[in-house]
Structure 1
Amino acid sequence: MPRFYCPVPLATGTPLDLPPDAARHVQVLRLQPGHAITLFNGTGGEWDACVTRMGRSDVQVAVGAHHAVEREAVRTVHLLAAISANERMDWLVEKAAELGAASITPLLAERSVLKLKGERAGKKLAHWRAVASAACEQCGRNRVPQIHDAQSLAEWLASEAGRAAPPDAPVRGTRLLLSLRPDAQRLAEAANGGAGPVTLLSGPEGGLTSTEEASALAAGFLPVTLGPRVLRAETAPLAVLAALTL
């Protein structure tokens, strides 16, 4: 059954005009009145729905029963991923959403090829959020990972150090840094036995600079290795996500 991300309040037994993106998707699939679909808004669970009207640019549905279905990973993983070149960042965001990342922070590393600021940064952020929501539509997740504003590692560390955690904030958990250091631990040894949340830091093509890596280590990140092969910047964090969440 087709699934659509619908980031608006949903209530059983009410008619709803779908938001533009969802309406456009329904029209692309050429669905007609009477077709059954599934809606989710990221707050938990999913809703049955039925298309009731197809306009030239709008779609109305009747919202049906809510199902408290969750398909989240057992372990919460927050990904700090240096921005990759070309389409590789899109691919990384898409696959990280499928693998269950709780949040993704695009990192403006010193060696990142793509530099973002101003209007371009805003457009890229909106694009990555759309990529993540589309991935959740496809894979069955009912909670879309939060895509944070792009920032440097120094900015992220400063915000974490100075942020007053709200009462319901998650425990900081384990911090892991993908590294080629000779003293890096194997992932299984550093992952704390599969318990508690993880913040995973992954660098760009060419890796983090020595200054960035030193800052991360000083902030409590543990260097980890995935073995003797050097994986691409977009492959390595996905390998760790798969190991931690599947």
Structure 2
Amino acid sequence: MRVSRFYLDAALAEGPLPLEGDLAHYIGRVLRLSPGAPVQIFNGSGQEWPGEVLEVSKRLVNLRLAAAIPGLPESPLQVHLGQAMSRGERMDWAIQKAVELGVSEITPLFTERCEVKLQGERADKRQAHWQQIAISACEQCGRSVVPVIHPPAAFSTWLDALNCDLKLVLHHRTEQQLESLARPEQLGLLIGPEGGLSADEIAQAENSGFQAARFGPRVLRTETAPVVALTMAQHLWGDFQ
């Protein structure tokens, strides 16, 4: 039987757990789980709490949790993804797949050719939206630790703040192959916008310690590039081995 997993931003412990609000509505009215249905709750700590549904009413769902168990281990490769923002669902898709592929942190970036303009309340709402996408991806893929989606940042600000063993910027015109690089513990990965990074931005990245790397002969879309790069990085240095 499939066990539904749910994220709850709260301290968890063995015993009864009453739920109200959106999560109760989702369990009781959307999924229509009935008493006796198995569930698994996590709060981002790395542990999971197996449990079952005890009662479903119009506004309340009661669960009973068992003792905590270790969650799925995180990849030994910690990846901070700097993803230039794109319009529509492309950014949502990139974040969702990056989380499924084990990314540790994501910072949405403003770049020269980025067409997305966010500030103030709109930026806060988009960050919250992207964080919820990360949570939903964790619920689906089995991760017990939720990656942090940072507030959107200026390109140069992120470059200056990033501290990793290895920093890579995707660039299809270089001959540098990933296999030639030493295995890192922390990887900074820079993905440009739909129109690509400008020559000045690539130079800025290289002056900040980034190495240009090639991920095949073709030019990848901005939402495809992080999927390919993360897959290759996890295969070489992470938990896809």
Taking structure 1 as the reference length, the TM-score comes to 0.88
Residue in 1 aligned with 2:237? none
CA root-mean-square deviation: 1.7
- Contact preservation (8 Å) 1:37, 1:48: yes
Residue in 2 aligned with 1:140? 142
Secondary structure of the structure 1 residue equivalent to 2:200: helix
Residue in 1 aligned with 2:167? 175
- Contact preservation (8 Å) 1:176, 1:223: yes
215, 220, 223: which is aligned to 1:231? 220
For residues 149 and 232 of structure 1, do their structure 2 counterparts lie closer, same or farther at Cα, with a shift above 3 Å needed?
A: same
- Contact preservation (8 Å) 1:6, 1:19: no
Residue in 1 aligned with 2:18? 17
Identity of aligned residues (%): 44
Aligned residues: 232
- Contact preservation (8 Å) 2:172, 2:218: no
Q: C-alpha separation between the residues in 2 aligned to 1:57 and 1:119?
A: 30
Alpha-carbon distance, 1:198 to partner: 0.4
- Contact preservation (8 Å) 1:6, 1:18: no
Question: Does residue 149 of the first structure (1) align with residue 151 of the second (2)?
Answer: yes
Alpha-carbon distance, 1:35 to partner: 1.6
- Contact preservation (8 Å) 1:12, 1:66: yes
Alpha-carbon distance, 1:158 to partner: 3.8
Question: Does residue 85 of the first structure (1) align with residue 87 of the second (2)?
Answer: yes
Q: C-alpha separation between the residues in 2 aligned to 1:41 and 1:136?
A: 11
Q: C-alpha separation between the residues in 2 aligned to 1:47 and 1:209?
A: 47
- Contact preservation (8 Å) 2:160, 2:208: no
Residue in 2 aligned with 1:167? none
Residue in 1 aligned with 2:40? 38
For residues 40 and 238 of structure 1, do their structure 2 counterparts lie closer, same or farther at Cα, with a shift above 3 Å needed?
A: same
Q: C-alpha separation between the residues in 2 aligned to 1:229 and 1:198?
A: 23
Amino acid in the other structure paired with 1:228: P
Task: Give 5+ residue unaligned stretches, structure 2.
Answer: 235-239
Task: Give 5+ residue unaligned stretches, structure 1.
Answer: 161-170
Alpha-carbon distance, 1:202 to partner: 0.7
